[in-house]
Amino acid sequence: MSTTCPPLSPPVGPDRLPRQYPADYDAEQRSAAEALIASPRGEVRGPFVPMMRSPLFMDRVQKLGEFLRYQCSIPERLREWAIIVTARHWSQPYEWHVHAPLARKAGVSRAAIAALLEGGPATAVQEDEAVVHDFCLAVHRQHGVDDALYARALALLGERGVMELTGICGYYAMLAMVLNVARTPSPTCFELPD
């Protein structure tokens, strides 16, 4: 493994909504935390720490995220790639820290991840990764996709996959906003498997 320090914007200033002690949770927070801990995530971390201030919101968000991350029809490699394209667009270091190693483990090339990290064009990507990259950036930058790009995504993923990819873009953009507003700290470096 090698260490890479991403040139992403770290939080500027102190954590606005730091971790609360579970003993201090109210009944609604305890219930939401128990549901999150029972999910594939297994703990309250990352964007769910600040969201605990609104436990019903956090509970609804985590259920959508559980579907998009663990159950949707998009293959894991493309799903993790879409997540880090979104994290890079939003300059979100926590999302990047968590998902870049998962993208690498799922089969995205080191060169593709490095090019994305540096903010350059997606290089060394497979054709399906290029479609997902272009689709995600169009959604984030132009707030939609043109007919040609829609046709490429439809041919790759079908209608269900196009909707789920759109959902991944929106979901991880929302998490990035939560993390950025809360100034949730993240490690400055991460391990990217070879």
- 118-156 core/surface letters (b: 16 or more CB in 10 A; e: else): eeeebeebeebbbbbbbbbbbbbeeeebeeebeebbeeb
Q: Are residues 42 and 80 in the same domain?
A: no
- Do residue 86 and residue 163 come from a single domain? yes
For residues 134 and 164, membership in a common domain is answered with yes
Question: Do 175 and 95 meet the contact criterion of CB atoms below 8 Å apart?
Answer: yes
Which phi and psi (to 5°) does residue 4 adopt? -125, 130
36 with 114, same domain: the answer is no
Residue 194 clears pLDDT 70, i.e. is over it: no
Q: Does residue 188 fall inside a structural domain?
A: no
Q: What is the model's pTM?
A: 0.92
Tens of pLDDT, residues 119-177: 877 777 899 999 999 999 999 999 999 999 999 999 999 999 999 999 999 999 999 99
pLDDT in tens, 83-111: 999 999 999 999 999 999 999 999 999 99
| Domain count for the chain | 2
pLDDT at 2 over 60: no
Percentage of the chain beyond pLDDT 90 is 83
Same-domain check for residues 66 and 80 = no
